[in-house]
Amino acid sequence: MTDIIALYGSPRRKGNTALLLKKAVEGARDAGAQVDEIVLRDFKISPCMEIYGCKKEGECAIKDDFQNIRDRILASRGLMIASPVFFYTVSSHVKMLMDRCQSLWVKKYWVQGVVPGQSPPIRKGLVIAVGATKGKRLFDGMLLTMRYFFDVLDMELWDSLLYRGMDFEGDVLKYPEYLDQAYARGQDFAHAVME
Ligand SMILES: Cc1cc2nc3c(=O)[nH]c(=O)nc-3n(C[C@H](O)[C@H](O)[C@H](O)COP(=O)(O)O)c2cc1C
φ, ψ of residue 139 to 5 degrees: the values are: -105, 5
The residue contributing the CA closest to ligand 1 atom 3 is: 86
Burial class of residue 92 (count of CB atoms within 10 Å of its CB; 0-12, 13-18, 19+)? middle
Q: Is the CB of 175 under 6 A from ligand 1?
A: no
Length of the chain: 195
Q: Is the CB of 132 under 6 A from ligand 1?
A: yes
What pLDDT digit, counting tens, does each position of 107-161 carry? Answer: 999 999 999 988 999 999 999 999 999 999 999 999 999 999 999 999 999 999 9
The residue contributing the CA closest to ligand 1 atom 14 is: 86
Q: What is the spatial distance between Cα 47 and Cα 66, in angstroms, rounded to a whole number? A: 10
Report, as an integer, the average pLDDT of 75-94: 98
Residue 1 pLDDT:
78
| Residue 189 and residue 80 in contact, taking contact as beta carbons nearer than 8 Å | yes
The residue to mutate among 20, 86, 93, having the most atoms of ligand 1 within 8 angstroms of its beta carbon, is 86
Distance 86 CA to ligand 1 centre (A): 5
Nearest of 40, 46, 64, 78 to residue 155 by alpha carbon: 78
Distance 110 CA to ligand 1 centre (A): 35
